[in-house]
């Protein structure tokens, strides 16, 4: 029983720590997901609390996972665990049946699961959670209550501070398809043998005041007494969808500049604001200074937004903005960068760098030498990140073994 309990703690604890951490890295992503669900269920009035709920959810998951792994405030954690698992198992079943939003968001953008996959994941974890709950009285505390609360407070501070950092700057880890170093055309390609969307067509005809449904095999095409009413195309099977499928750059004439931008051998700056009315106005103004400097070096500079043209014209005129505006899909722009506005530097289809509006570079830094150094730093940072995450992983494994395996923790 001790071994089963230990295995259960490791499995459930690791899942909760991972789930809480990847959502904490990108709190705006969870905020958008909450808003999607609120809109789907007709509760858009709850959108103002989407961000606090996102922070609370990821923090709770992370702390419950830590408590299960290390034994801090263990009995309280098991109560939260069983309530949490019971509630979300029922909720994910409802979401799987109704499918209001295709991606559940339980692992943020790190691992994309459908609602049914999330439900089955919860079904797999639920027996472990129940066993942990009923075995909770057999676990002896490793430390005094005060020390355990201090440990919990420390981890709570770490996970909350991580989220505030991600909100004020950019997420330190980017799991989306627009991360630094991405060659965008690769993420837009559809393989030759990839499956296509499959649709079923329903045809509706009217006769003698009644409307009947037909398909493409049995519709009355030879009977002139039937009058065609309408047709409906229902998606039967979703085909392959590239990671980047909705990235566009339309001008006022309806021309898409995306291919020209990706093929440009020079540097291109993209200022991204999914909603200009909600953007930081000082960020829009600072971007105007950057645009002027970029033009001096013969770089391209555009602002991508999903705002309507009247709103674009009003804000552009009131702030005296000189850079050109192009339009794109709002969801795509929210995915590209977690900042409003945010700035991307692209060269020959590669995302060289990204900035939150609080971290925009100074106009004097936009010279060829500094931008070339950004490319060099990009390669070095990638190598350092790999080493750092590997060392951090080994450290956590060692720490987990040290805390999980004392004899007293299994009593």
Q: Where are the domains of the chain?
A: 2-173, 198-237, 258-366, 377-411
Tokens of 20: 């809480």
Tokens of 109: 């953008």
Backbone angles phi, psi at 221, to 5 degrees: -70, -20
> Per residue in 190-233, pLDDT tens?
888 888 888 889 999 998 888 999 988 888 888 888 899 999 98
Name the pTM for this structure.
0.80
Q: Which residues contact 355 (CB under 8 A, 6 or more apart)?
A: 170, 339, 342, 343, 361
- pLDDT classification of 5: cutoffs 50, 70, 90: confident
How far are the Cα atoms of 196, 396, 397 from residue 391, in angstroms, in the given order?
Answer: 42, 9, 10
**What crossing angle do the helices spanning 2-25 and 115-134 adopt, rounded to 10°?**
140
With a cut of 60, say whether residue 388 has pLDDT above it: no
Residue 383 CB neighbours (<10 A) = 9
Residue 393 CB neighbours (<10 A) = 10
Average pLDDT, the chain: 86
CA–CA gap between residue 92 and residue 116 (Å, rounded) = 8
- Coil, helix or strand at residue 342: strand
Smallest CA-to-CA distance from 203 within 189, 187, 220 is with: 220
With a cut of 80, say whether residue 400 has pLDDT above it: no
With a cut of 60, say whether residue 355 has pLDDT above it: yes
> Per residue in 51-93, pLDDT tens?
999 999 999 999 999 999 888 888 899 999 999 999 999 988 9
CA–CA gap between residue 136 and residue 14 (Å, rounded) = 18
Transcribe 181-204 into DSSP letters.
T-BHHHHH---TTPPPPEEEEEEE
Smallest CA-to-CA distance from 290 within 269, 275, 309 is with: 269
**What crossing angle do the helices spanning 50-70 and 2-25 adopt, rounded to 10°?**
150
DSSP label of 81: H
> Per residue in 187-200, pLDDT tens?
999 888 888 888 88
Question: What is the reported pLDDT for 407?
Answer: 46
- Coil, helix or strand at residue 221: coil
Tokens of 405: 């395996």
With a cut of 60, say whether residue 317 has pLDDT above it: yes
Tokens of 316: 């552009």
With a cut of 70, say whether residue 375 has pLDDT above it: no
CA–CA gap between residue 1 and residue 380 (Å, rounded) = 48
Question: What is the reported pLDDT for 399?
Answer: 60
- In contact, 136 and 75? CB cutoff 8 Å: yes
> Per residue in 125-169, pLDDT tens?
999 999 998 888 877 777 788 888 988 898 899 899 999 999 999
Using alpha carbons only, give the angle 143, 146, 150 rounded to the nearest 5 degrees. 95
Q: Which residues contact 376 (CB under 8 A, 6 or more apart)?
A: none
- In contact, 37 and 99? CB cutoff 8 Å: no
CA–CA gap between residue 121 and residue 113 (Å, rounded) = 9
Q: Which residues contact 248 (CB under 8 A, 6 or more apart)?
A: 256, 258, 327, 328, 329, 332
258-366: CATH, from 3.30.590.10, 3.10.20.600, 3.40.30.10, 3.40.50.620: 3.40.30.10
- pLDDT classification of 44: cutoffs 50, 70, 90: confident
Q: Which helix (H) or strand (E) holds 145?
A: helix 145-168
Question: What is the reported pLDDT for 1?
Answer: 79
With a cut of 90, say whether residue 324 has pLDDT above it: yes
CB burial of residue 78 (10 Å; 0-12, 13-18, 19+): buried
- In contact, 311 and 288? CB cutoff 8 Å: no
């Amino acid at each position: 029983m001790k071994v089963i309990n230990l295995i259960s703690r490791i499995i459930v604890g690791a899942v909760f720590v991972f789930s809480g951490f990847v959502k904490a890295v990108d709190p705006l992503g969870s905020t958008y997901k909450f808003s999607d669900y609120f809109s789907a269920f007709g509760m858009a009035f709850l959108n103002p609390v989407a961000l606090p709920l996102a922070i609370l959810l990821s923090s709770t998951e992370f702390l419950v996972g830590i408590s299960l792994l290390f034994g801090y405030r263990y009995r309280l954690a098991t109560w939260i665990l069983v309530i949490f698992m019971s509630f979300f198992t029922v909720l994910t079943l409802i979401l799987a049946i109704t499918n209001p939003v295709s991606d559940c968001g339980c692992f943020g953008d790190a691992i994309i699961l459908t609602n049914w996959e999330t439900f089955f994941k919860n079904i797999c974890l639920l027996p472990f959670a129940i066993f942990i709950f009923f075995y909770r009285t057999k676990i002896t505390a490793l430390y005094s209550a005060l020390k355990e609360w201090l440990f919990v407070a420390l981890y709570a501070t770490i996970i909350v501070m991580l989220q505030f950092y991600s909100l004020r700057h950019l997420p330190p880890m980017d799991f989306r398809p627009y991360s630094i170093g991405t060659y965008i055309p690769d993420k837009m390609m559809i393989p030759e043998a990839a499956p296509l969307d499959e649709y079923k067509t329903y045809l509706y005809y009217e006769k003698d005041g009644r409307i009947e449904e037909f398909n493409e095999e049995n519709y009355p095409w030879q009977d002139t007494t039937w009058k065609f009413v309408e047709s409906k195309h229902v998606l039967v099977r979703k085909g392959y969808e590239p990671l980047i499928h909705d990235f566009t750059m339309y001008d006022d004439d309806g021309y898409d500049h995306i291919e020209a931008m990706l093929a440009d051998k020079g540097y291109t700056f993209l200022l991204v604001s999914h909603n200009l009315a909600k953007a930081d106005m000082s960020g829009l103004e600072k971007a105007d200074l950057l645009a002027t400097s970029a033009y001096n070096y013969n770089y391209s500079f555009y602002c991508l937004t999903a705002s309507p043209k009247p709103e674009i014209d009003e804000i552009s005129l009131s702030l005296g903005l000189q850079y050109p505006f192009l339009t794109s899909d709002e969801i795509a722009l929210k995915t590209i960068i977690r900042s409003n506005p945010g700035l991307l530097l692209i060269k020959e289809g590669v995302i060289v760098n990204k900035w939150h509006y609080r971290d925009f570079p100074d106009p004097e830094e936009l010279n060829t030498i500094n931008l070339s150094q950004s490319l060099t730093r990009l390669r070095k940072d990638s190598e350092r990140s790999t080493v750092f995450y590997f060392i951090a992983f080994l450290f956590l494994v060692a720490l987990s073994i040290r805390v999980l395996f004392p004899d007293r923790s299994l009593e």
